[in-house]
Amino acid sequence: MRAPTIPELRRGVLAVCVLSDLDLLPSEDGVLLTAAPPVHVSWTECRRALAGHDPEGAPGRARLTEWLLARRWSADAGRDVVELALRPVGLPVDHAAHPGLDWVCDRVLGDALDLGLGAVGLDPEDPDRVVLLPASVLDALGIDREVMWVAARDRLERMGQLAAMRTRLDPKGLLRAYGDCDAVTLLGARSLRTALAAASDGMGAAVVPMRNRGWTRLALIDPAFGPAAAAATPAHDRGFVRPVLLTADELSLVPEGGRPEQTALRDPAGDRRWAQDVLYH
């Protein structure tokens, strides 16, 4: 995979400037975010943000935008505010918004879910959104990522316990966001995985096609729903593209293959038409 050249990076950040109304000035060694306080972002950081994407393509511009805005907003807020606003964030390992390996603070066994840090309250247009903070952002503020992750991990486990109680009481085992942690992030809590696995004799399952919602009682969910809902969800808001299997210590995607949309078609029709499980006869 060819690394983007400086002219290509320059055109990419200029597109971010125009489309996102972000004040910046490209230079030979990087990008200067010119608002006070000024922030310098090297071309190496820009390449890392792209993770192999074309800086002039839509996915590449989106990644550059998120990276540069995180640098801008965190500098505006300052170290003390960002430290108080830090939250745990979980993303599928191949998610479109994944900032890269240097963002990862922990990976759940099973190679499906990465955990890192974000901060709430930084986005002036959406204060409730948790903005992902790559390692370079925290380093620029002088924040010790390992220390902050210990506190964030404890918070995640507490939220997981509360989410387990609420999910257990829901008829369909609906998993919703809780305490600034979305549904995908909550599955990173060992406390929640332990509860879900214990309710299913040691191995649980969940359908989480979007980041803010999932279902944990698959017997009540159409097998084709998960993949179809994931495909219909915008890439940034997407969760797991297939159902996940989980134990207390592990979370993994079910293998690819099969035709879940044909499962219901294999069920024989009832002898009594009035008793058939269909909406119309």
pLDDT digits (tens, 9 = 90+) for 83-97: 999 999 999 999 989
Query: Each residue of 246-279: pLDDT tens digit?
Result: 999 999 999 886 665 555 555 555 555 555 544 4
Report the mean per-residue pLDDT for the chain. Answer: 89
pLDDT at residue 25 in the model:
92
Q: Is the pLDDT of residue 215 over 90?
A: yes
pLDDT at residue 281 in the model:
40
The rounded percent of the chain whose pLDDT value lies above 70 is: 91
pLDDT at residue 112 in the model:
96
Query: Each residue of 19-66: pLDDT tens digit?
Result: 888 999 998 899 999 988 999 999 998 998 888 889 999 889 999 999
The encoded tokens of residue 145 equal: 């990522």
Question: Whole-angstrom Cα distance, residue 209 to residue 243?
Answer: 8
Cβ atoms of residues 211 and 179 within 8 Å: no
pLDDT at residue 279 in the model:
41
Q: Is the pLDDT of residue 81 over 90?
A: yes
Q: Is the pLDDT of residue 197 over 70?
A: yes
Instruction: Tell me the CA end-to-end span of the chain in Å, nearest whole number.
Output: 56
pLDDT at residue 260 in the model:
55
The rounded percent of the chain whose pLDDT value lies above 90 is: 70
Query: Each residue of 161-191: pLDDT tens digit?
Result: 999 999 999 988 899 998 899 999 999 999 9
- Tell me the torsion sign for CA atoms 64, 98, 127, 151: negative
Question: Whole-angstrom Cα distance, residue 201 to residue 27?
Answer: 59
